[in-house]
Structure 1
Amino acid sequence: MDFLFPFTIISILIFVLSFISNKLNFFSIPLFIIGGIALKPYLQTEIQFMPVLAQLGLILLLFYIGFEISPVRYLKSIKKIIYDGGIDLLITFLLPFLIIVLMGFEVRLSLFIAALLYISSSAIDLKIIVDSRFAIFNFAEKAINILLFQDIIISLLIMILPLMMVEFKSDSLFFTLSNVLIFAVFLIILYLLLKFTREILNRSSEETLNLLAFAILMLTSFISDRLINSMVLGAFMGGSIIKATGYRIDIKRSFTPLKDIFSPFFFFFFGLKINFSIQNNLWFLILIVIVLSIATKYIVSYIIYSRKSKNREFTNILFGLLTIRGEFSIILTTVAYEYLSKQNQDIIATISTIVIFVNMVLGLSVIKINQNLLKKNQPQLFEK
Structure 2
Amino acid sequence: MGGAFVAAAILARLGGRIGLPTIPLFILAGILLGPNTPGFVLLEDPHDLEMLSALGLVLLLFYLGLEFHMEDLRTGGRKMVVAGSAYLALNVGAGLAFGFALGWGTSEALVLAGVLGISSSAIVTKILVDLGRIGNPETKPILGIIVVEDIFLALYLAALQPVISGADDVGAMLADMGKAFGFLVLLAVAARWGTGVIGRLFATRDDELLVISFLGAAVLVSGVAEKFGVADAIAAFMVGLILGNTGSGDRIRELVHPLRDAFAAIFFFGFGLSIDPGDLPSVIWPVLIALLVTISMNVLAGLFTARVYGFGPRPTANAATTLLARGEFALILATMAAAAGLDERLSPFIAGYVLILAVIAPLVAGRSHWLARLLPGGRADAERYTEREAAEAGAARSAP
Inter-partner Cα distance in structure 1 for 2:185 and 2:355: 37
Conservation of the 8 A alpha-carbon contact between 1:40 and 1:272: yes
- 2:337 matches 1:336: no
1:84 to 1:58, Cα distance in 2 relative to 1, 3 A: closer
| AA of the residue aligned to 1:65 | L
Inter-partner Cα distance in structure 2 for 1:129 and 1:83: 26
- TM-superposed deviation, 1:288: 0.7
Task: List runs of 5+ in structure 1 lacking aligned partners.
Answer: 1-6, 136-140
- TM-superposed deviation, 1:89: 4.3
Structure 2-normalised TM-score?
Answer: 0.72
- 2:118 matches 1:121: no
Report the counterpart of residue 264 of structure 1 in structure 2: 265
1:95 to 1:304, Cα distance in 2 relative to 1, 3 A: same
Report the counterpart of residue 59 of structure 1 in structure 2: 58
Structure 1-normalised TM-score?
Answer: 0.75
| TM-superposition CA deviations, 1:100-136 (whole Å, max 9, x none) | 33333413321222224697835525764759x9x5x
Conservation of the 8 A alpha-carbon contact between 1:51 and 1:269: yes
Root-mean-square deviation (Å)? 4.1
Task: List runs of 5+ in structure 2 lacking aligned partners.
Answer: 36-40, 163-167, 374-378, 393-400
1:351 to 1:116, Cα distance in 2 relative to 1, 3 A: farther
Report the counterpart of residue 159 of structure 1 in structure 2: 154
User: In the alignment, which of 24, 31, 34 is matched to residue 25 of structure 2?
Assistant: 31
- TM-superposed deviation, 1:354: 0.5
Inter-partner Cα distance in structure 1 for 2:30 and 2:142: 29
Report the counterpart of residue 396 of structure 2 in structure 1: none
| AA of the residue aligned to 2:149 | I
1:157 to 1:346, Cα distance in 2 relative to 1, 3 A: farther
Conservation of the 8 A alpha-carbon contact between 1:84 and 1:145: no
| AA of the residue aligned to 2:265 | P
1:31 to 1:201, Cα distance in 2 relative to 1, 3 A: closer
| TM-superposition CA deviations, 1:301-346 (whole Å, max 9, x none) | 567779xx9xxxx7477436522457x6323234435533264344
Inter-partner Cα distance in structure 1 for 2:53 and 2:119: 23
1:161-310 alignment, distance < 5 Å = 161-167=156-162, 169-170=169-170, 172-173=172-173, 176-177=176-177, 179-180=179-180, 183=183, 195-196=196-197, 198-199=199-200, 201-203=202-204, 205-228=206-229, 230-243=231-244, 246-249=246-249, 250-278=251-279, 282-300=283-301
Inter-partner Cα distance in structure 2 for 1:377 and 1:190: 45
| TM-superposition CA deviations, 1:131-153 (whole Å, max 9, x none) | 9x9x5xxxxx5x44641441332
Inter-partner Cα distance in structure 2 for 1:231 and 1:145: 21
Report the counterpart of residue 321 of structure 2 in structure 1: 323
Inter-partner Cα distance in structure 2 for 1:114 and 1:47: 24
Report the counterpart of residue 97 of structure 1 in structure 2: 96
SS of corresponding position for 1:69 = coil
Deviates more, 1:285-294 or 1:274-283: 274-283
- TM-superposed deviation, 1:19: 1.4
Deviates more, 1:85-94 or 1:265-274: 85-94
1:238 to 1:283, Cα distance in 2 relative to 1, 3 A: same
1:337 to 1:70, Cα distance in 2 relative to 1, 3 A: farther
1:358-369 alignment, distance < 5 Å = 358-365=360-367, 367=369
The count of corresponding residues between Structure 1 and Structure 2 is 362
Inter-partner Cα distance in structure 2 for 1:171 and 1:218: 30
Conservation of the 8 A alpha-carbon contact between 2:84 and 2:148: no
| TM-superposition CA deviations, 1:183-217 (whole Å, max 9, x none) | 46975898888854643652453322221112212
Inter-partner Cα distance in structure 1 for 2:86 and 2:219: 37
SS of corresponding position for 1:40 = coil
SS of corresponding position for 2:336 = coil
1:289 to 1:117, Cα distance in 2 relative to 1, 3 A: farther
Report the counterpart of residue 69 of structure 2 in structure 1: 70
SS of corresponding position for 1:228 = coil
**Percent of paired sites with the same residue:** 17
1:69 to 1:345, Cα distance in 2 relative to 1, 3 A: farther
| AA of the residue aligned to 1:27 | P
User: In the alignment, which of 352, 355, 359 is matched to residue 353 of structure 1?
Assistant: 355
Inter-partner Cα distance in structure 1 for 2:178 and 2:87: 34
- 2:142 matches 1:147: yes
